[in-house]
Every structure is written in structure tokens, then in C-alpha cells.
Amino acid sequence: MTPRRRLLTTVLAALLAVSAPAGASAAPAFPDTVPLPDGWLPEGIATGTGTTIYSGSRADGSIWKGDLRTGLGEVLVDVDGRVAVGLKVDRGLLLVAGGPTGDAYVYDARTGGEVAVLDLTDEPSFINDVTVTREAAWFTDSQSAVLHRVALGPGGAPTGEVRDVPLTGDWEQVAGFNANGIASTPDGGTLLVINSTTGILYTVDPATGEAVAVDTGGADLTAGDGILLSGRTLYVVRNRLNEIVELRMSPDLLSATPVDTLTDPDFDVPTTIALHGSRLYAVNARFGTPPTPGTEYDIVRVDGR
């Protein structure tokens, strides 16, 4: 390029930059909160493809699908007589823990079409949360010392095989809510489960159900609800404490170092969390607020993420 052409190119670029609207090339900011339908009674959230996020309703089991970039969304699964608690998206499917129904539900994450209804147990139960490995979906039961294992086929759809895996070893079952949030290592070789009442975090061998208490370095994890494992970082939501504890897990997952305690002025009893890139999102269950058809609920982009 000649010196004259180089100069003209530089001047033209400068003129275009000056004439362009401020921020025109910047991506739209993600909102701090994403509103859910009034009276929704949320508990679980999960991120999907792109900027998609899902939230389930404890009121009737319906599923809402929204966009984290725009903050807009609509009801994807409109049902009644069900309960939706913990959620996970995997291989185009949305897996839902059914709370006191003893069931789990599987929907097409794009269309909302029903794929399966899974009868996990006929005993008194609270099917609370779910994590997914390549071969199985694992559901916690807050009223029983057991994990419910649902076998998955090559495409991720349930095969219909449901098996109970008793929690043994160090596991301590107490009065009140017990097994709650659950996460899996990427290879599916180890599960992590939090006991809400005792605040004890466990590793669980999925082959045997043997639980080993994790040394969390003195971190208080009582009221532990949803958990999320990202690399060696584990996030534990302490719902009524309005905080998320960040832990650095050891390579063998048997110990952890407290790193930070995340809070947000928009928290109102957060229960579960999801990641979108480096952004951490939590849903406000608002357990202390009497629910009405007009009660407002939202999803919060956690400050500092």
C-alpha cells in the first residue's frame, strides 16, 4: 500500500469511528435480573444452547424458557398437577426432578414435547435435584438415603431402567431435608452430594453408593441447596443465607479450600445456579414470601461474575 493510500485509509477509518453511534459495535449488556412469570414459584434453573435458560415451577410443574441476553421468555411446557424442582439440560433434553410426586420428567428442550415420565419411587419422597452423566441421570431424594439412577441410551434418552443406589459409608441421614444438590465429574466417575441439614458435602461412588465426607476447610454449608462443579471450582448455594460459597476442590475431591462467599443485593432466597460462560446465575425461590398469583420472581446474574 502506498503512503498516500495508507493515509486515506486511516482517515476514513477515523471518520467512520466518529460518525458511528456510541456503543454501536458493542454487544448488548446482559440484564442483572431476568423476570419470571408472576406466581411462578421457581426452584430450579438450567442453561441450554446459546443464551437460553430454563426455570421450572413448583406450582404446577410447567417449564419457562427465556433468553439471558434479552431477559424475555415464555412458557415452554404448560402442564398441571406436577412439580418441577431441579433441572438439567443434556443432549437436547430437559430432565426435571418432580419433588413430592416421586417422579421425574423428560422434555424436548427445544419444543417442550414430553419424552418420558419416570416413576422413581412410590415411597414418601422429595425428588430434589438431578445431574447427568453419559450413561445415567442421577436424582437426589431429600427424604431417603438413596440416589435414583435412570439409565440413558446413546442419544441421552432414558431407556426406562430405574435403579435405587443406597447411600452408604460416611452418609448420615438425619431428620429434615437430607440429600439435595448433586453434581458429577465430567467422566461420571464421581458424584458430589450436599446434605442440606448437616451441611456435609460428600463424594459418592456411583457404582456402589459409598459416600465419603469431604473436608471443606471449615466452610459452613448448612442450608446447602443447588451445587455446581466447574473444573475444580464448586459452588454451593446456601438458600436462606442468601449466599453462594465458592470452594476450590482438591484433585481427588476429598478436600476443598474456601475461596469466596458470593452475595448479591438482588438475592431473595436463591436455590439453584447455572453457568453461562463466565456468568453465574441464581434463581430466587423467595421461600419466606407468602406466594400469591401476583408474587414476582426472577433469575439473578450474580454480581462479580
pLDDT of residue 13: 39
Model confidence over 260-299: pLDDT tens digits?
Answer: 999 999 999 999 999 999 999 999 999 999 999 999 999 9
pLDDT of residue 116: 97
pTM for the whole thing? 0.90
Strand pairing of 191-195 and 201-204?
antiparallel
pLDDT of residue 303: 83
Which stretches of the chain score pLDDT less than 50? 1-25, 305
pLDDT of residue 29: 85
Measuring CA to CA, which residue among 241, 223, 243 is closest to residue 300? 243
pLDDT of residue 8: 35
Hey, how many other C-beta atoms are within 10 angstroms of the C-beta on 117? 13
Model confidence over 59-97: pLDDT tens digits?
Answer: 999 999 999 999 999 999 999 999 999 999 999 999 999
Q: Which helix (H) or strand (E) holds 52?
A: strand 52-57
Residue-averaged pLDDT of the chain: 92
Distances (CA, A) of 251 to 64, 201, 216, 220, 233: 36, 16, 13, 21, 11
Q: Which helix (H) or strand (E) holds 11?
A: helix 3-19
Task: Kindly list the strands in the beta sheet with 243-249, ordered across the sheet, starting from the edge strand earlier in the chain.
Answer: 224-230, 233-238, 243-249, 256-262
